[in-house]
């Protein structure tokens, strides 16, 4: 029975994370980039000023809402989204991409991130536009809402919209227990056991209690923790990786050349055929890029929709920055640390070390920090993976809320916390595969929604650009629910 499930899952997973799906994901990004007139480049100064620049110069970006208000700040929404996306994929995933696709995979990871910025932008624009208040006065938004209310309002789609919304929510809840919980906790437990000899059960119990204190407190408590944890863990890891790169600065030029040449098959991967090398570099680069920043999966939009902003495009710009920070910064620094350390033959792309994934990155750090390199990566995995658990607990909660109502989310949160111990102590290889599949399946209904509603994204974006960038005196677009209310008032 288990073998049958695994075989079926492998077949589905082969499609979900195969080249056709990756082309669809990247193709959506290319389309959204084109029809928004390359917003991430043409208005780069504007979105940088209103995201990372706003953190230091605009109090509205970081100010907390009142105690009774269930909204979170723009900065908190970014940190919670980054908490979920900056995970083990930024360490183990990048190493796997290099091992399987060669240095050229990093170039294609950049490509998918560049176009993914506009997919994430579009998701967040739609998320803010279609969000609504729940019974606890919290904002609820995400793919399920723009599928139900947005796609469902289009001609001939009044049934397919709600169906896809339910499917997305089911995939999200299942994925949250796997890729967003047990797989992350398992990575922490295994690494802490290996590096510091902390028993896996003990680690699981500690993490369960810590998670319970945060997750059961709701989105505001999660956001309060992540706005402190994410900048700290990112700075901690980036400084460590930069030290490794600087220590091998003489190899930096060769690394850049290897990435560019490997991307276009000018050097074969692992000594194999050039054509096969290009295909592996493209597929692994795209796969790890999508898996790391989650652009197109429709996940982070659920926390971005809890922000206290009113302008959909403002939160969309935070989506651009999220992908940039996750892939162009954290993943790139990991890749350069590994490639510059001498553990990869830059001529052929073959991995010289016998280590894999996380262990390969740990070995790269060990070339500078010695035995402390293993401890450094174990602590990085602890911070990255635990923050991912916090972020994904909110995603799963919102999916569960859509399916069963606001009051039922307490049941989900308790179950989510309990499963942390299982993640730490069990061999869950099949569960990892299944959760990976459901994580990827989230992209299908989400991309249908984004593509179907792309004209609306363009309309909202153009309205914002004319008002805020070009200074034209025109009325802002109302949210979908405000538009509906306005229509009803006019009818009365």
Q: Which residue has the higher pLDDT, 87 or 407?
A: 407
Distance, in Å, from the CA atom of 464 to the CA atom of 58, rounded to the nearest integer, reads 19
How far apart (Å, rounded) are the C-alpha atoms in residues 448 and 453? Answer: 8
Ramachandran quadrant class, 134 (left: phi over 0; alpha: psi -120 to 50; beta: rest) = beta
Q: Backbone dihedral region of 102: left (phi > 0), alpha (psi from -120 to 50 degrees) or beta?
A: left
Task: Mean pLDDT check: name the lowest of 182-186, 261-265, 333-337, 428-432.
Answer: 428-432
Are 90 and 384 a contacting pair, CB within 8 Å? Answer: yes
**pLDDT given at position 453:** 95
Query: Which whole-number Å values give the CA distances from 169 to 316, 404, 420, 443, in the listed order?
Result: 22, 10, 21, 11
Of 428 and 452, the structure prediction assigns the larger pLDDT to 452
Alpha carbons 422 and 185: distance in angstroms, whole number: 9
Judge contact between 128 and 303, C-beta under 8 A. no
The pLDDT tens digits of the residues spanning 175-195 come to 888 888 888 888 888 878 877
| Mean pLDDT within 40-45 | 92
Q: Which ranges of 308-442 does DSSP label H, i.e. alpha helix?
A: 312-323, 332-340, 357-369, 372-404, 409-425, 429-441
Q: What is the pLDDT of the chain when averaged over all its residues? A: 81
**Domain spans in the chain, listed from the N-terminal domain onward:** 12-471
Gap between the Cα atoms of 436 and 425, Å rounded: 19
Q: pLDDT at position 283, please?
A: 62
Confidence check: pLDDT of 239 > 70: yes
Q: State which of 59-68, 267-276, 369-378, 472-481 shows the largest mean pLDDT.
A: 369-378
Give me 437's structure tokens: 């599949």
Task: Residue 400: name the closest of 304, 392, 149, 81 by CA.
Answer: 392
Mean pLDDT of 373-401: 87
| pLDDT at residue 429 in the model | 64
Bigger pLDDT: 276 or 11? 11
Rounded-to-integer distance, Cα 16 and Cα 92, Å: 20
Return d(Cα 386, Cα 88) in angstroms, integer.
10
pLDDT of residue 229: 83
User: In which residue are the tokens 């208005």 written?
Assistant: 43
CB 12 within 8 A of CB 443: no
Is the pLDDT score of 299 beyond 70? yes
State mean pLDDT over 141-165: 91
CA distance 146 to 480: 10
Lowest mean pLDDT among 22-26, 146-150, 402-406: 22-26
Nearest by Cα to 122 from 319, 326, 392: 319
pLDDT tens by residue, 94-124: 887 787 777 888 888 888 889 999 999 999 9
How does residue 169 score in pLDDT terms, banded at 50, 70 and 90? Answer: very high
- With a pLDDT cut of 70, the percent of the chain lying above it is 81
Q: Which CATH number fits domain 12-471: 3.60.70, 1.20.1740, 1.20.120, 3.30.70?
A: 1.20.1740
* 486 has a pLDDT exceeding 60: no
Region 140-154 average pLDDT: 91
Give the per-residue pLDDT at 275: 43
Residue 351, φ and ψ in degrees, nearest 5: -80, 120
CA distances from 483 to 132, 467, 475, 489 (A): 13, 19, 13, 10
Residue 492 has pLDDT above 70, yes or no: no
Maximum pairwise Cα distance, the chain: 74
Assign 485 a pLDDT band (cuts: 50, 70, 90). Answer: low
| Residue 432 DSSP SS3 | helix
């Amino acid at each position: 029975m288990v073998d049958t499930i695994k075989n079926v899952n492998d077949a589905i997973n082969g499609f979900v994370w195969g080249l056709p799906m990756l082309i669809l994901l990247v193709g959506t990004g290319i389309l959204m980039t084109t029809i928004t007139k390359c917003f991430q480049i043409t208005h780069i100064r504007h979105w940088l000023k209103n995201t990372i620049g706003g953190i230091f110069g605009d109090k509205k970006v970081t100010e907390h809402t009142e105690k009774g208000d269930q909204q979170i700040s723009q900065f908190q929404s970014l940190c919670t989204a980054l908490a979920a996306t900056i995970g083990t994929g930024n360490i183990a995933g990048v190493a796997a991409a290099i091992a399987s696709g060669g240095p050229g995979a990093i170039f294609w990871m950049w490509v998918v991130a560049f176009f993914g910025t506009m997919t994430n932008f579009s998701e967040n624009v739609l998320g803010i536009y279609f969000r609504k208040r729940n019974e606890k006065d919290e904002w609820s938004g995400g793919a399920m809402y723009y599928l139900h209310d947005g796609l469902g309002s289009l001609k001939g789609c009044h049934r397919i919209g709600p169906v896809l919304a339910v499917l997305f929510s089911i995939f999200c809840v299942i994925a949250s227990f796997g890729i967003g919980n047990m797989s992350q906790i398992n990575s922490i437990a295994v690494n802490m056991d290996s590096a510091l000899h902390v028993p896996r059960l003990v680690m699981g119990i500690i993490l369960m209690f810590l998670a319970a204190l945060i997750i059961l407190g709701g989105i505001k408590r999660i956001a309060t923790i992540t706005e402190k944890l994410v900048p700290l863990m990112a700075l901690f890891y980036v400084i460590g990786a930069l030290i490794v790169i600087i220590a091998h600065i003489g190899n930096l030029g060769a690394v850049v050349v290897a990435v560019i040449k490997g991307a276009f098959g000018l050097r074969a991967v692992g000594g194999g055929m050039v054509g096969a090398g290009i295909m592996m570099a493209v597929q692994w680069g795209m796969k790890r890029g999508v898996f790391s920043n989650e652009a197109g999966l429709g996940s982070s939009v659920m926390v971005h929709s809890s922000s206290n902003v009113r302008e959909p495009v403002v939160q969309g710009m935070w989506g651009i920055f999220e992908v940039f920070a996750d892939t162009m910064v954290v993943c790139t620094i990991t890749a350069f640390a590994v490639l510059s350390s001498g553990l990869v033959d830059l001529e052929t792309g073959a991995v010289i070390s016998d280590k894999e994934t996380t262990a390969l990155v740990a070995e790269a750090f060990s070339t500078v920090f010695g035995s402390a390199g293993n401890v450094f990566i174990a602590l990085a995995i602890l911070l990255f993976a635990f923050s991912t658990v916090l972020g994904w607990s909110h995603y799963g909660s919102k999916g569960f809320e859509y399916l069963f109502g606001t009051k039922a989310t307490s049941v989900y949160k308790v179950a989510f916390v309990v499963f942390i111990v299982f993640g730490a102590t069990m061999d869950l290889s099949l569960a990892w595969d299944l959760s990976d599949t459901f994580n990827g399946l989230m992209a299908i209904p989400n991309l249908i929604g984004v593509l179907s509603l792309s004209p609306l994204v363009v309309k909202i974006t153009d309205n914002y650009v004319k008002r805020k960038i070009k200074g034209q005196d025109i009325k802002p677009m109302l949210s979908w629910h405000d538009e509906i209310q306005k229509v009803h008032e006019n009818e009365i």
